[in-house]
Chain A
Amino acid sequence: MRPYLATLRRYGWLIAAILALVWGAGLASAYVDYTTTFESDATIWVLRASPELLVTSPSDPSAPILQTAASQQADLLDQLLQTQSFVRDVVQKTSLSAALAAAQDERRFLASVGKSFQVDTHGTNLLTVAYISHDPKIGPEMVNAALAVRADRVAQASVTFSAAASTLYQQQLASAQTQALDAQKKLDDFDAEHPAPLSDIQQHSRDQLRLTLDFAQIRLGDIRGRIDQATLAPAVLAVSGMEFQVVDQPRVEATPRGGTKPAAMTAAIAFAAGAALVTLLVLLGTILPSHATGPADVARLAPMKLIASVPRVSRAQGSVGSGDVRRSLGAIAFGGRREKSGPRG
């Protein structure tokens, strides 16, 4: 430990300079980051719990995970914000579209924008969508654009889903209609072939045919109801707007907000970098000594031989310092002729 402490003392000023430079720059950067960061957020009330409330864990498909409406929508938004097409659509709705067009590396630009979004849940039905930037006007624009693009995407997905469902139900409807017509024809044929009164066996057969027809007609009605539901439900939800209500609209912030975390991160990185540099310097300074640190180093200068060591004199040893020693020696050698003391050789 002593060699490391000696190195620390030897490079004290250099270490102080490095720390002042790195920590100073880091703290300055953190301060600038903190004072020029503006966070704008929207609070959203998610009313409807999805029918797919229970999702399975990939690690254990048998174990269901309860997902609230808020966390489901937050996950959905998070996933959308990781896609370039979504972020591109968002940016193109804002004043950043010019910057996107001018960006040399579009992928990096979009990734940077995506990372500036933050989606958090608050309870079971509340979530916030925030955007952090150095321009207070950009935040509300970006949040509003993200919500708008999300709404477009959801509506588009609903239409696509209802179209697909309608196609499927139409096919099932055609099949059910055929079955119902067949059942009706069989019953009519039976009635034509067997005039009343019917025997017990004939009556039983007719009841079976009637039951088959009833089932076919019920299925037909059910499929028609599903078709109506698939067509109307998304439209009803979209019109009502109940699924995704923006409770608090994003605002242009007048005072810096949301920069604490990045500023703390910058300061922490600067602190760690300074400490790492100093540690490296002390390690290298100790392992690779470049100065004569004692007689052992001088012994390596053979054939030159060490013949004497003159101790260092500090003021802690009474009132005598190295300058005092020189003056004392001069007084003995030169007596009263000594008049001034210049730089000591």
Chain B
Amino acid sequence: MSGDDSMTRAFDGLASRIDALGARSVGFTSALLGEGVSTVALGTALSLAELRGDEVLLVDGNWLQPSLSEDAGLDAAPGLADRLARATELDAAIRRTPGSRIAFLPIGDRTSTRPALRALGSFVASETGSFETVVVDLPPILAGEPFVLPWAAVLDQICVVLREEATPLPVLRQALGRLHAVNAPCIVLNRAKPSSVDVPAKLLAART
């Protein structure tokens, strides 16, 4: 099995479980920088689009390191921050690629505003109402708590990404302690050993 295949399978499995949870909006965060959150958010968004057969809105909400916007070459383009500041229209900020079911909302001008709870609530509930699925890439909790907590309050599900054999457990516990989500956050084990990859499926099967 090649690396691409195993990753695709993993993202498909993650998308299936999010679908099973019935979550429309999902945010991905971590305790620390460099855990692979943006990659997991991107892969999951693609798999969710495939699974639900509909367009997925991928939002770069990483105020600290908007790597998705940089990857897309849209780090200077108007985006989420501009929309929250009412400086642009949402449709104008969303970028679509022909042949892709991903509608991407880059970060925009981060200096213009910070994500406030009321604005985000309106954004997620009303403005993105046309999307069946919203995936948000968020900064690390400990480094960017003010940029994560408002999202945690308005998103249906928060997933915390941790790197196997790298993320310190005390730090992870500290981060989870600061996360006051409506639903308990779920954990995504990134860069897992092959022996750890099939465990979540078995755990979920055992629960059901």
Contacts and interface: CB of A to CB of B under 8 A. Distances in A.
Interface string B1-40: 0111011001101100110010000000000011011111
B204 A334 contact: no
B116 interface: no
A66 interface: no
Interface residues of B, number: 74
A326 B42 contact: yes
B70 A342 contact: yes
B149 interface: no
A233 interface: no
Nearest to A341: B71
A337 B95 contact: yes
A104 interface: no
Contact of A326 (B10, B33, B71, B203): B71
Contacts of B73: 334, 337-340
A345 B65 contact: yes
Contacts of B68: 345
Interface residues of A, number: 49
Contacts of B7: 310-311, 313, 325
A308 B39 CA distance: 14
Interface in A315-345: 317-318, 320-322, 324-326, 328-330, 332-335, 337-345
Residue with the greatest number of chain A CB neighbours at <10 A, chosen from B18, B168, B189: B189
Given A344-B38, A345-B67, A305 B189 contact: no
Given A290-B169, A320-B4, A340-B70, A333 B100 contact: yes
B192 A320 contact: no
B46 A333 contact: yes
Interface string B47-74: 0000000000010001001011011111
A305 B181 CA distance: 14
Interface in A190-218: none
A204 B14 CA distance: 135
Interface string A50-68: 0000000000000000000
A344 B70 CA distance: 10
B58 to A, nearest CB: 7
Closest 3 A/B residue pairs (Cβ): A339-B73, A320-B3, A345-B38
Interface of A: 6, 10, 289-295, 297-299, 301, 303-314, 317-318, 320-322, 324-326, 328-330, 332-335, 337-345
Given A304-B185, A313-B6, 19 more contacts: A292-B166, A293-B164, A294-B192, A294-B199, A295-B199, A304-B187, A307-B200, A309-B198, A310-B36, A311-B194, A312-B193, A322-B39, A325-B4, A329-B43, A332-B46, A334-B102, A335-B98, A338-B71, A343-B65
Interface of B: 2-4, 6-7, 10-11, 13-14, 17-18, 21, 33-34, 36-40, 42-43, 45-46, 58, 62, 65, 67-68, 70-74, 95, 97-100, 102, 104, 137, 159-160, 162-170, 172-173, 176, 184-200, 203-204
